[in-house]
Structure formats: structure tokens, C-alpha cells
Structure 1
Amino acid sequence: MATIAPPQRPQVRREPTSYEALKAHFAAHPEERPQHPHKWDVSRSDIYFNDTWQPIFAEMRAAGPLHYIPESPFGPYWAVVGHKAIQHIEALPETFSSSWEYGGITILERLSEEEAAAANIDTRELPMFIAMDRPQHTGQRRTVAPKFTPTAITDMEAEIRARTGELLDSLPRGEVFDWVDTVSIELTTGMLAILFGFPWEDRRLLTFWSDWSGDTELATVRELDELRWSVLQEMAAYFQSLWIERTMDKEPGNDLISMMLHSEAMNQMRPEEFMGNLVLLIVGGNDTTRNTMSGIIHALDKFPDQRKLFEEQPELIPNAVQECLRYQTPLAHMRRTCTEDTEVFGQTIKKGEKVVLWYLSANRDEEVFDNPDKLDITRENARRHLAFGYGIHRCVGARLAELQLKVLLEEMHKRRMRVHVAGDVERVRANFVHGFRKLEVEITTF
């Protein structure tokens, strides 16, 4: 009997990065930079790039938990900035929908049928389970959830610890290097490759795709949005070849693709839905952990008293992880769409209005966290952070992220490793993903 040959991997581009493409575009067309006339329009990416967002959100919180922003490059929206108000809205998923059919989970405007037809493109929907309401959300989330149970996470710990230790042992001493590229990206893409059963030699593609998917500003530039879409289609084609390979496996594997393949809720997905869920799992598993791994190093360097505590009291590490997640907040916002006129904290939100939940602001809310702009690894209520969201859409991979961060700190401590910021620090220029593009450091010992 003839054996069926496994599918060929499709050709995919590996450059330019989304960052390079955006930078080049705005250098050539400075007049096209998005305009933000409203003083509280926190969708502007420069405040995250320059790390000047804190006083703006503090002023907004002082004036109330939510504010209507009538104009922005992403259309009008409600900016929800208070911790309590965000929890309240997240607890009402029927009233405040995450569905891609209303616009999904980021601040981006949904292309109307008319606009899409005028531009001769489709409406570019990316259905994914985080951007669904019940009951579809429940079935698809349930498919991948077994990969993230306490037992499954415990099973992965030894491998995570071995890989983390190996990487730390290979780091250069007495010279400056980029922590983001050498440590944060390497550890998170390696973890994703294991979760997906993804070809190890191509793992950096996961970072490339993650950046093209997660950069909301690309969508404000028509030709870059075209490029973004073709990059995502290449990603889907590559994963399609893995999907076909997995259908040939005699025994179903326990990687995420095999789990989707053998799930009633997911094995009949349309191509857009397959692509959407890949984007979700790649950005969710990549940007968040990667940016917190960099954020931890930057914060411990900025607050040497806390670094000293970490070095002297390693038992604080589990709480330090929670505090670093609060302090960094790797995804700045999530978006909902109101499905019926409703009142929230004295404000009327009308049906169809866009509601943007600024987790970044909630995690600095003075009503919940004392001295919120300070890193405090002994903070008793650090766990109240909303870095993973809240309610039915709380991050499915939160435990895995926490484990990766805990292991990184434990393995650094075991090696008495102290990391100093020793060169360029460059932040991500975006209003969705919140993190570091470059963090030049040097290692010493304590």
C-alpha cells in the first residue's frame, strides 16, 4: 500500500518585521501618523513608546472610572480606566460582547461591508475563541484548556526548568547583550514550539507572526494592512501543512494542533477561524510572557531595593511574579462592544458603542494598590492585578505564564545572577501589546 507523503512546507517570508515596515512607512510619510486631538485619547502609541502614560491615566482615574472619547484614529470609544469598573464590565459578557461579529477584542475599527467592497477586499474577520461569546466560546476554549490544567502545567515544569537553566548558563558574562532577543524571545518561542509541536528550526517564525498580528497600528495604514493580511495567510498555510501532517498520525498527539483536530468544537473551523485561533494562541503565548520576562528585569533594575529583597528572600518569588505582572501589564487593553443601552457607574453606554478596558490603568489604580507606580514584591494584594483579564475570558494560559516567570526568577537566583540595564532600552510602539523591543543588559553576580 502506498504511503502518503507529508505535505511540503509552504514558502513564507521572514522579513521585514512589522516594526521595520511601520518605521519605514512613517519615515516616508510622516503626515500619515495618526492624529490624537483629545487629551485623554490613550490609543496614541507614543505614550507607551516613551513610557509617559502613567500621569494621563492617573488624571483620568481621578476624574472618574470611565470616559467617552469622541474622536480617535480608531473612532469614538469609552475608555474604562478604573479597576472596579473593568471587573464590573467583564462580569457582564452578554451586555459587553467580545464577539468578532461586533468588532472583537482590540480597539481597531471593524471594516464595514461597504468600506471593504469599495477597497475591493473582504472584511478581514479573525474569529477566535477569545473573540466569541457563549456558547461558541465555551466549546472552543474547552478544547485547548486541558493543555493548561494544573496537572498539565506540572508535567511541563521539568522541561521548562531545564531549558531555562541551559539558556541562562549560555549567556555572555562581562559584555552587553539584548535580553529581549537572547532570553525573552528565545524562552517564549521555545515554549510555543513545544505547545504546538512546531518545527524547532523555524520557531522564530512564531515571533515574526506574533508581531505582525499584535501590532494594532499596522491596521491604520492601508498597504501595511494588506501586507499584514498576506503574512497571516502564509502563517495559516504553514499551520495547515502541520494540520495535514497530524491527520496522518496513528495516535493523536497532545499538542495544541492535534487537540484542535480531534475536537468537535474546533475540527470544522472555517479557514478564518483556524487563523484567528492561531493568532490568539501565538500572541497570547508569546507577547505576554515575553514582555513580562523583559519587564521583570527592567523593574528590578529600576527598584534596587526590590532586587535586594529578591536576592535575600527567594521565598518571595511567587508573589514577585504577581507583582511584576501587575507592574508590567503586557497587554494594555481589551475591547468589548455594548449590545444594549446600559448604565455603568452613572454613565449611559449605548448599544453598539466601543468599550475599551485599559488593564494598564486598572493595575495602577490607587483605590486598590497603595503607591501603585512602585514595584513592591511584598505587596499583599498583588494577585488582584488584571493583567490576565477577568471573568469568562480570563487568559486560559495564565498558569503557564506564571510558571515560566517563576522558573526564570528561581533559576536566576540559583545562579546568583544579577542583571543590570546597561545600554539601550526601547519600548514597543503600540497601544495593545505593552513591552520592550530592546533591553541591553550586563550580568554580574550577587
Structure 2
Amino acid sequence: MNKICGDDLKRPLANVRVDDASSIPLANLDVSETKRFQDDSIWGCFERLRREDPVHYCQDSRYGPYWAVTKYHDIVAVDTNHKTFTSEQGVTIVDVPDEHWTPSFIKMGPPKHADQRNTVSPIVAPENLTRLESLIRSRARAILQGLPRNDAFNWVDMVSIELTTQMLATLFDFPFDDRRLLTYWSDVAVTPPRAGHAIDSWDKRSAILSECQEYFTRLWNERINREPRLDLISLMAHSPATRHMKPDEFLGNLILLIVGGNDTTRNSITGGVLFMNQNPCELRKLHENPGLMSSAVSEIIRYQTPIVHMRRNAAADCVVGGKKIRKGDKVVMWYISGNRDEEVIDNADSFLIDRKNVRQHLSFGFGIHRCVGRHLAQLQLKVLWEEILNARLEVKVVGEPERIASNFVHGYSALPVQIAA
């Protein structure tokens, strides 16, 4: 059943671009260049590395030397071995200066990692997700009902950001009218400083994030003197594992929770609309068989891969994919490439909502650092698409997506769409 349909054969497969990957000397191939993600020309580079050099040493990049791990099973091997591959020096390819470093539980090993992760995990426990589903549904319905008809608008701003930011505000019990601050802080947190950009220095980035810390410190001080409640600030304020965090650790965990609750869902919501437009046969399948909804959600998340990579450092000399990695080396797992590994995923460059083993993807990671909020992300996508189908909305993409210049978040700043009256 999971075949590419006739309508979809009339257009190039989404996310496959002809580029200059084959003309670059292999030793010089650097998949960390952000421009390739922004112009969607990265795919040939990853395809070449998977074929010719799956564990590739890049000597010269703006982020220093690193190992690029690009195939599915090699990525899983690194991700599930937290003793040999540590996250304590950071989880992105960027080396953050010491004076701007913020610890968080994703950058920790056992037992502190588990203690802090377990502190916040009740917010996404099954019983709480059941309670949240009706709220997500009412909000999704209201957002969709309020969208313009017959006029083009930016789906990213009016739907993707709005739905996820409303959810983040609920999880933190954050003042609802200020909820767009959460999106702003998330964007600042995942954007390394660069010349010519609004965030052009580490000092400027830290100054903005200190505003985030000050705002949340006020919320913390309110809640630590109240009875415990089921929101992220209250959970941390009343847990022995997090109650006595230093300010920089509090900020680090805030950033982790804000980014984790924002980027996966936000960019998968946008990607899903784009992919369904590029592959109308898949959308027809979903209309004809709503039982495919959970499968469709998993395929959207695989195909989008909202978190492009995770970084580790080797804690000891080791071997990955036949390559000898030295203690201290930076090892980057390119989830976005592993999710297109044809040796593991059939027709990996095709968007197929009824594919076999559809949940076999890397988008949430593996091992002790697997995304704690993955079930909430899937729930939001599922509910939104159910409401789109229930309302019989035809969301038509009417322009090219605008992608962000990032090798960490695979995301969009704009997707022009139109809905018929």
C-alpha cells in the first residue's frame, strides 16, 4: 500500500535538490554550513557521506574539527552509549564560551540527569496528556476557525507558533498575554551569535536570556511558597533535585524546556502542511482512512526531523563505523541524515504516511536523553490534523517556504498558505 501515487510522481520528491555535493573534495565536505539548510540544498551532501564516508572527519569548520555520523545504526550506537559519548560539553556543534555556559539536565550524566529529568516528567505523563487533549483540541479548533479565508497568510505565525506557544504557557503556567516571549527566548537560545544578525555577540545573547531568567525567577518565588501544582516551575521549585539549583542551572533548564516544547512541534506543524501539499496522494490517503493519523504524525516528524543534530564528546578512545575516535573528539549525530538512510528506511526520501515501521526514526533521539516531551508533540500534531480534517479545510501552500539559517533546528520562519471559504 505504501507506494508513491500518480499525483506525486508529477513533481520532484520534496526535500531532494540537485547541488554541488559531488564536486567538493570529500575531505572538505562540511555538513554544518547553515546556508545549505536555509536553501534546502543539504541533502546531496548527506547522501554522499552515507555512501562514501558514513563517519566523516571534518577538520576545518567554523565550529572546529568534528566527526559527522550520518547513518542510522551508527547514530543509535553513539546515542545509546552515554558512558563513552558524553553530553557534558554541550549538545550542539557550537562551543559555548565558558562565561556564557548554562548547565542543564541534558548536559548531565547519571544520577543527576535522571533526578532532574524525573522532576519535570510528570507534566507529560499519560494521565496528564489525557487531561490536556481536550484543551489542545479546543485551542486548535479556535485557531483554525479564526484563520483568514481566501487571503494568503503565514501559517508559521498564525498556527504553528500560536498553538505551541499556548501549550508552553500552559505547561509553565506562564502569563498567557506574555506567551510570545517564550517563542522569542527559544529563538534566541538556539541562534549562535553571528555578524550582521540581530544577535551579533554572546554578550547580547546572554543579556536577552537573563531577561528570561529574571521573569521566571519571579514566577519561581511565587510558587515556592505555595502548595505544589502540576506546572514546570512548581515541579522544579518543590523537588529536592532542583529546588537548590544555581541561577545558571535554572536558566539552562528553562532554555532546555522552552526549546524542547517549542521547536519539535512548531516546525513539524509547518512541515506537515508543506509535505501534504507536495504529496497530495498522501493527504487523500489520510482523508480516506483517518486511522492512518498516528502513522501520518510519525512520518511528518521523521521527514521534517526538527532537531537536525545532537553533539557528544568522546570520553575515551573508541571506534564508530570502523573509524578510530580519540578521547575528547567532538562527535555530531546528524539525525536528519539518519532519517534518510535507505539501508534502514525504504524509500527514505519519499513522504509516505502508511510506510512500514513508520515509528522507526531518529527525530526524538535514543538512550537516556531521548526527548521527554515526544508524546506531547505527537498529540498536538495528531489533534491539529484531526481538526483540519474534521473542518474539511483545504490548506493550500501558495508560495515558497522560508527556512531558518540553522544547522540545529530544521525550521521555518514563513509558509504562505491560503484557505478557501
Q: If the length of structure 1 is used for normalisation, what is the TM-score?
A: 0.86
* Aligned counterpart for 1:231 among listed residues 188, 202, 208: 208
Superposed CA deviations along residues 44-86 of structure 1, whole A, max 9, x for unmatched, are 0111100111111001000132111011000000000000000
Q: Which amino acid aligns with 2:117?
A: R
Equivalent position of 1:128 in the other structure: 104
1:78 is paired with a residue whose SS is strand
1:441 is paired with a residue whose SS is strand
Q: Please list every run of 5 or more consecutive structure 2 residues that lacks an aligned counterpart in the other structure.
A: 1-24
Residues 226 and 180 (structure 1), Cα distance of their counterparts in 2 relative to 1, 3 Å cut:
same
Equivalent position of 2:73 in the other structure: 84
Residues 345 and 423 (structure 1), Cα distance of their counterparts in 2 relative to 1, 3 Å cut:
closer
Q: CA deviation at 1:257?
A: 0.1
Superposed CA deviations along residues 345-401 of structure 1, whole A, max 9, x for unmatched, are 211110000000000000011111111111000011120111011111100000000
Superposed CA deviations along residues 313-369 of structure 1, whole A, max 9, x for unmatched, are 211110000000000000100000000001112111100000000000000111111
Instruction: Tell me, yes or no, if the aligned pair for 2:193 and 2:200 is still in contact at 8 Å.
Output: no
How do 1:4-83 and structure 2 match up within 5 A? 39-83=28-72
Q: Are 1:207 and 2:148 an aligned pair?
A: no
Instruction: Tell me, yes or no, if the aligned pair for 1:176 and 1:423 is still in contact at 8 Å.
Output: no
Superposed CA deviations along residues 71-108 of structure 1, whole A, max 9, x for unmatched, are 10000000000000000111110100011xxx210001
CA distance in structure 2 between the partners assigned to 1:343 and 1:110 by the alignment = 26
Deviates more, 1:56-65 or 1:137-146: 56-65
How do 1:168-179 and structure 2 match up within 5 A? 168-179=144-155
Equivalent position of 2:22 in the other structure: none
* Aligned counterpart for 2:312 among listed residues 297, 315, 336: 336
Q: CA deviation at 1:217?
A: 5.2
Q: Are 1:384 and 2:373 an aligned pair?
A: no
Q: CA deviation at 1:247?
A: 2.2
Residues 366 and 70 (structure 1), Cα distance of their counterparts in 2 relative to 1, 3 Å cut:
same
Equivalent position of 2:93 in the other structure: 107
* Aligned counterpart for 1:242 among listed residues 211, 219, 222: 219
Q: Which amino acid aligns with 2:74?
A: A
Q: Are 1:272 and 2:261 an aligned pair?
A: no
Equivalent position of 1:372 in the other structure: 348
After superposition, the CA RMSD in angstroms is 1.7
Instruction: Tell me, yes or no, if the aligned pair for 1:64 and 1:82 is still in contact at 8 Å.
Output: no
Residues 167 and 327 (structure 1), Cα distance of their counterparts in 2 relative to 1, 3 Å cut:
same
1:417 is paired with a residue whose SS is coil
Equivalent position of 1:408 in the other structure: 384
Q: Which amino acid aligns with 2:274?
A: H
1:58 is paired with a residue whose SS is helix
Q: Which amino acid aligns with 1:64?
A: D
* Percent of pairs with identical residues: 47
Instruction: Tell me, yes or no, if the aligned pair for 1:164 and 1:408 is still in contact at 8 Å.
Output: yes
Instruction: Tell me, yes or no, if the aligned pair for 2:309 and 2:333 is still in contact at 8 Å.
Output: yes
* Aligned counterpart for 1:356 among listed residues 332, 355, 358: 332
Instruction: Tell me, yes or no, if the aligned pair for 1:426 and 1:436 is still in contact at 8 Å.
Output: yes
Instruction: Tell me, yes or no, if the aligned pair for 1:215 and 1:433 is still in contact at 8 Å.
Output: no
Equivalent position of 2:20 in the other structure: none
Q: CA deviation at 1:216?
A: 3.1
Instruction: Tell me, yes or no, if the aligned pair for 1:179 and 1:294 is still in contact at 8 Å.
Output: yes
Q: Are 1:258 and 2:247 an aligned pair?
A: no
Instruction: Tell me, yes or no, if the aligned pair for 2:193 and 2:201 is still in contact at 8 Å.
Output: no
CA distance in structure 2 between the partners assigned to 1:181 and 1:54 by the alignment = 27
Equivalent position of 1:325 in the other structure: 301
* Aligned counterpart for 1:95 among listed residues 49, 61, 84: 84
Instruction: Tell me, yes or no, if the aligned pair for 2:264 and 2:307 is still in contact at 8 Å.
Output: yes
Equivalent position of 2:6 in the other structure: none
Q: Are 1:291 and 2:280 an aligned pair?
A: no
1:371 is paired with a residue whose SS is coil
Q: Please list every run of 5 or more consecutive structure 1 residues that lacks an aligned counterpart in the other structure.
A: 1-35, 112-121
Q: Which amino acid aligns with 1:108?
A: V
Q: Are 1:315 and 2:283 an aligned pair?
A: no
CA distance in structure 2 between the partners assigned to 1:228 and 1:192 by the alignment = 21
Instruction: Tell me, yes or no, if the aligned pair for 2:271 and 2:300 is still in contact at 8 Å.
Output: yes
* Aligned counterpart for 1:306 among listed residues 254, 277, 282: 282
Instruction: Tell me, yes or no, if the aligned pair for 1:86 and 1:362 is still in contact at 8 Å.
Output: yes
Instruction: Tell me, yes or no, if the aligned pair for 1:331 and 1:434 is still in contact at 8 Å.
Output: yes
1:416 is paired with a residue whose SS is coil
CA distance in structure 1 between the partners assigned to 2:163 and 2:382 by the alignment = 13
Q: Which amino acid aligns with 1:247?
A: I
Residues 217 and 298 (structure 1), Cα distance of their counterparts in 2 relative to 1, 3 Å cut:
farther
CA distance in structure 1 between the partners assigned to 2:26 and 2:148 by the alignment = 46
Q: Which amino acid aligns with 2:141?
A: G
Instruction: Tell me, yes or no, if the aligned pair for 2:152 and 2:418 is still in contact at 8 Å.
Output: yes
Instruction: Tell me, yes or no, if the aligned pair for 1:421 and 1:439 is still in contact at 8 Å.
Output: yes
Superposed CA deviations along residues 259-286 of structure 1, whole A, max 9, x for unmatched, are 0001011011011100000000000000
Q: Which amino acid aligns with 1:364?
A: R
Instruction: Tell me, yes or no, if the aligned pair for 1:218 and 1:225 is still in contact at 8 Å.
Output: no
Instruction: Tell me, yes or no, if the aligned pair for 1:301 and 1:421 is still in contact at 8 Å.
Output: yes
Aligned length: 396
Deviates more, 1:218-227 or 1:308-317: 218-227
CA distance in structure 2 between the partners assigned to 1:316 and 1:220 by the alignment = 45
Superposed CA deviations along residues 152-194 of structure 1, whole A, max 9, x for unmatched, are 1111111111111111111111110000000000000000000
Q: If the length of structure 2 is used for normalisation, what is the TM-score?
A: 0.91
